[in-house]
Structure 1
Amino acid sequence: MKFLTKLSNMIMEKCLPDPYIFVAILTVLVLLLGVVLTPSSPLDMVVYWGDGFWGLLSFTMQMVVVLAAGHILANSPVFKRFLSSMASKIKKPSSAIMIVTFVSLVACWINWGFGLVIGALFAKEIARHVKKVDYRLLIASAYSGFIIWHGGLAGSIPLSIATEGHPFEELMGGVIPTSNTIFSPYNLFIVIVIGFTLPLFNRWMMPKEENVVEVDPSLLIEEEQKFPPAERTFASWTERSSLLTILIGLIGISYLIYHFTTKGFALDLNIVNTIFIILGIILHGTPQRFLAAAQQAIKTTSGIVFQFPFYAGIMGMMTTSGLAFVFSQWFISISNDFTFYLFTFYSAGLVNFFVPSGGGQWAVQAPIMLEAANVINADTAKTAMAIAWGDAWTNMIQPFWALPALAIAGLKAKDIMGFCLFVLIFTGIIISVGLLFL
Structure 2
Amino acid sequence: MVGDVHTERDTEVLEGDTWLARVALRFTAFTERWLPDAFGFVLVGTFLIFALGLATGESPTTLVDAWGEGFWSLIQFTLQMAMIIIGGYAVAVSAPVARLIARMAQIPKSPRAAIAFTAAVAMISSYLNWAFSLIFTAILAKEIARVVRGVDYRALGAMAFLGLGTVWAQGLSGSAALQVASPASSPEAVQEIIAEGRDGEGIIPLTETIFTWQSVLATFVVFVVAVVMAWYLAPSPARAKTAQEMGVELRPLLAEKDGKEDAASGSTGSRPGDWLERSPLLTVLVGILGLWYLVRHFTSVEGNPVAAIDLNTVNLVLILLALCLHWRPVRMVEAVRRGTPAASGVLLQFPFYGGIFGMIAFTGLSKQIAGWMVSVSNELLFPPLIAVYSAVLGVFVPSGGSKWVIEAPYVIEAANQLHVNQGWMVVVYDLGEASANLLQPFWMLPTLAVLGLKARDIMGYTFAMFLACFPVVLVVVTVLAQTLPFP
- Shorter-chain TM band: over 0.9
Contact 1:72 1:293 in 2 (8 A): yes
Change (3 A) 1:383 1:287: closer
Change (3 A) 1:380 1:235: closer
**Ranges in structure 2 where 5+ consecutive residues have no aligned partner:** 1-18, 481-487
Contact 1:108 1:114 in 2 (8 A): yes
Is 1:117 equivalent to 2:135 in the alignment? yes
Which SS does the other structure have where 2:378 is aligned?
coil
Is 1:8 equivalent to 2:27 in the alignment? yes
Which position in structure 1 is the counterpart of 2:277? Answer: 239
CA RMSD in angstroms comes to 2.3
Q: Which residue, out of 250, 256, 280, partners 1:219? A: 250
Cα distance between partner residues in 2 of 1:437 and 1:242: 54
Which position in structure 1 is the counterpart of 2:232? Answer: 204
Tell me the TM-score normalized by structure 1. 0.92
Q: Give the residue type in structure 1 aligned to 2:55.
A: V
Q: Which residue, out of 221, 232, 237, partners 1:193? A: 221
Matches within 5 A, 1:327-338: 327-338=369-380
- Give 1:177 shift: 3.0
Which position in structure 2 is the counterpart of 1:162? Answer: 181
- Give 1:278 shift: 1.9
Which position in structure 1 is the counterpart of 2:193? Answer: 171
Change (3 A) 1:55 1:92: same
- Give 1:258 shift: 4.5
1:60-100 Cα offsets, whole Å, 9 max, x none, are 11221222222223333332222112212332222222222
Cα distance between partner residues in 1 of 2:291 and 2:354: 34
Cα distance between partner residues in 2 of 1:414 and 1:99: 23
Contact 1:66 1:273 in 2 (8 A): yes
Change (3 A) 1:338 1:240: closer
Contact 1:239 1:288 in 2 (8 A): yes
Contact 2:152 2:234 in 1 (8 A): yes
**Ranges in structure 1 where 5+ consecutive residues have no aligned partner:** none
Larger mean CA deviation between 396-405 and 179-188 belongs to 179-188
1:294-343 Cα offsets, whole Å, 9 max, x none, are 22221222111101111011101111112111222222232223212111
Change (3 A) 1:253 1:129: farther
Q: Give the residue type in structure 1 aligned to 2:97.
A: F
Change (3 A) 1:130 1:239: same
- Give 1:185 shift: 4.3
Which position in structure 2 is the counterpart of 1:54? Answer: 72
Q: Give the residue type in structure 1 aligned to 2:369.
A: F
Which position in structure 2 is the counterpart of 1:180? Answer: 208
Which position in structure 2 is the counterpart of 1:321? Answer: 363
- Give 1:393 shift: 1.4
Change (3 A) 1:114 1:288: closer
Contact 1:352 1:394 in 2 (8 A): yes
Which position in structure 2 is the counterpart of 1:108? Answer: 126
Which position in structure 2 is the counterpart of 1:27? Answer: 46
Which position in structure 2 is the counterpart of 1:71? Answer: 89
Which SS does the other structure have where 1:329 is aligned?
helix
Change (3 A) 1:434 1:287: same
Contact 1:64 1:301 in 2 (8 A): yes
Contact 1:9 1:418 in 2 (8 A): yes
Cα distance between partner residues in 2 of 1:127 and 1:136: 10
1:366-401 Cα offsets, whole Å, 9 max, x none, are 222222233333333333332232211111112121
Q: Which residue, out of 317, 323, 348, partners 1:275? A: 317
Change (3 A) 1:153 1:280: closer
Give me the identity figure in percent. Answer: 35
Change (3 A) 1:34 1:91: same
Larger mean CA deviation between 258-267 and 182-191 belongs to 258-267
Contact 2:150 2:242 in 1 (8 A): yes
- Give 1:259 shift: 4.5
Which position in structure 1 is the counterpart of 2:62? Answer: 44
Q: How many residue pairs are counted as aligned between the two chains?
A: 437
Contact 1:397 1:424 in 2 (8 A): yes
Cα distance between partner residues in 2 of 1:270 and 1:364: 21
1:170-206 Cα offsets, whole Å, 9 max, x none, are 3232332333321334423321111222112101000
Matches within 5 A, 1:87-166: 87-146=105-164, 147-164=166-183, 166=186
Is 1:361 equivalent to 2:370 in the alignment? no
Which SS does the other structure have where 1:211 is aligned?
coil
Instruction: Point out the structure with the larger helix share.
Output: 1
Cα distance between partner residues in 1 of 2:181 and 2:321: 31
Which SS does the other structure have where 1:212 is aligned?
coil
Q: Which residue, out of 295, 301, 304, partners 2:346? A: 304
Is 1:427 equivalent to 2:446 in the alignment? no
Cα distance between partner residues in 1 of 2:337 and 2:101: 22
Cα distance between partner residues in 2 of 1:189 and 1:281: 36
Contact 2:341 2:449 in 1 (8 A): no
- Give 1:26 shift: 0.8
Cα distance between partner residues in 2 of 1:282 and 1:43: 52
Which SS does the other structure have where 1:159 is aligned?
helix
Cα distance between partner residues in 1 of 2:269 and 2:129: 43
Contact 2:91 2:132 in 1 (8 A): no
Cα distance between partner residues in 2 of 1:101 and 1:249: 33
Change (3 A) 1:425 1:239: same
Cα distance between partner residues in 2 of 1:61 and 1:337: 40
Contact 1:187 1:434 in 2 (8 A): no
Cα distance between partner residues in 1 of 2:419 and 2:283: 58
Cα distance between partner residues in 2 of 1:114 and 1:70: 4
Change (3 A) 1:282 1:360: closer
